[in-house]
Amino acid sequence: MRALCYHGKKDIRCDTVPDPKIEDGRDAIIKVTSCAICGSDLHLFDGFMPGMKEGDIVGHEFMGEVVEVGADNKKLKVGDRVVVPFTICCGECDQCRRGNFSVCERSNRNKDVADKVFGHTTAGLFGYTHLTGGYPGGQAEYVRVPFADVTPVKVPDGLTDEQVLFLGDIFPTGWQAVVQCDIQPTDTVAIWGAGPVGQFAVRSALLLGAQQVICIDHVPERLAMARAGGAITIDFDNESVLERLAELTQGKGPEKCIDAVGMEAHATRTIDSVYDRAKQALMLESDRAHVLREMIYVCRPAGTLSIPGVYGGLIDKVPFGALMNKGLTLRTGQTHVNRWTDDLLRRIQEGQIDPSFVITHTVGLEQGPQMYTTFRDKQDGCIKVVLKP
């Protein structure tokens, strides 16, 4: 089959590789009809994630048709159309039973190594580093889904791939980021990052009843899409984030702040904070906490910071004193996708939201490698790429 494979930093290729096989009775093999490139894939592409190997099949946002089912799998049958959450989970461990799927205790088969390297571990993830289990990903013609009697979401008739594909990751991710903010009707929610996750956070915040949603980025097309979704936008290249946020909140700061940027922030700008300006000369280029720091400084006391943005390793220069003395609540995590899929699927069916709004590019798998660059560098108005294997 054809699949997108990792060959090192900034080197993704469309290779011919062996077809996947059933390895366990609970598995299923999916023929991928649509898959997508995620901001998290860019962390691999940019070389920020240790534990990748030459030839690894990438991709964790995918859906398709079941073509083979393991002997013990009672949930799926050949011909079912499913979306597969990016977090692999067993459904039986202590964390899965509590709905904490992204920290499943059993699905990361390299858990012990990850614990040694990072001091922490996550559930198994598709198409990611060997520290998250090294499971072949879904930017491919076929993929093996482990524990396929637990996570796959069956797609009801009448919905297109484009309407449901993002149930596997970025829609629940934006949603969880907002749910974690415990939205009150008087809240202003500020969202850093107008990438795909930020876009879903904007719409989720409004669906969940926030009074005002502000989105911060510097890519014009992305800001325009956030405005179309109901947000007020701040272009950090041309405006002072601090001043505009103060203006929009009568000087008090947003009650709820969401970091939908993650590790990428360090590469784009230094923050404009009165506290930090004097220290900026001392900051290392690899300092990755700009958005985090800015959120801690601007958030209204007793507010909440929600962080879907992905971080790895140590983060330096986080003003923990401000976090503590302002009494802020910090919530973060990989998304517990299956916690939200039933509700979000229903909202799609009811027409409350059509997630396909975020797609700007649809191409074949062969164009995938080029699309990693287009998406990363925000060329050609790119916001979300869908690949059709």
Of residues 38, 131, 358, 365, which one binds ligand NAD by CB under 6 A?
38
Q: Among ligand NAD, Zn ion, none, what does residue 93 contact (CB within 5–8 Å per kind)?
A: Zn ion
The residue count for binding Zn ion (CB under 5 A) is 9
32/260 with CB nearer ligand NAD: 260
Q: What is the DSSP letter of 66?
A: E
Burial, 23: exposed, middle or buried (Cβ in 10 Å; 0-12, 13-18, 19+)?
exposed
Task: Let me know: does 172 contact 142? Beta carbons within 8 Å.
Answer: no
Residue 112's alpha-carbon distances to 90, 101, 119, in angstroms, are 17, 18, 9
Give the one residue of 81, 106, 288, 290 binding ligand NAD; rule: CB under 6 A: 290
Please list, in sequence order, all residues whose beta carbon lies within 8 angstroms of the beta carbon of residue 268, skipping any fewer than 6 positions away. 218
Among 127, 134, 196, 368, binds ligand NAD (CB under 6 A): 196
Report which of 150, 155, 39, 146 is spatially closest to residue 101, judged by C-alpha positions.
Answer: 150
Q: Closer to ligand NAD at the Cβ: 58 or 194?
A: 194
Number of residues engaging ligand NAD in binding (CB under 6 A)? 35
Q: Which two tokens stand for residue 362?
A: 């649809």
3-state secondary structure of 29: strand
Binding pattern for the stretch 313-352 against ligand NAD, x by CB under 6 A and - elsewhere: ---------------------xx-----------------
Q: Token digits for 176?
A: 């969880």
Q: Which stretch binds ligand NAD (CB under 6 A): 6-14, 186-194, 244-252, 319-327?
A: 186-194
Q: At its nearest, how many Å lie between ligand NAD and the CB of residue 77? A: 29
Cβ atoms 261, 237 nearer than 8 A: no
Choosing from 104, 150, 225, 260, the residue that interacts with Zn ion (CB under 5 A) is 104
Q: How far is the CB of 4 from ligand NAD (least distance, A)?
A: 17
Work out whether strand 28-36 and strand 142-145 pair parallel, antiparallel, or are unpaired. Answer: antiparallel
What is the full DSSP assignment across 50-64? Answer: S---TT-B---EEEE
Least Cβ distance, residue 311 to ligand NAD (angstroms): 8
Alpha-carbon Rg for the chain in angstroms: 20
Q: Which residues bind ligand NAD (CB under 6 A)?
A: 38-40, 42-43, 169-170, 173, 192-198, 216-219, 222, 236, 260-262, 264-265, 268-269, 290-291, 308-310, 334-335
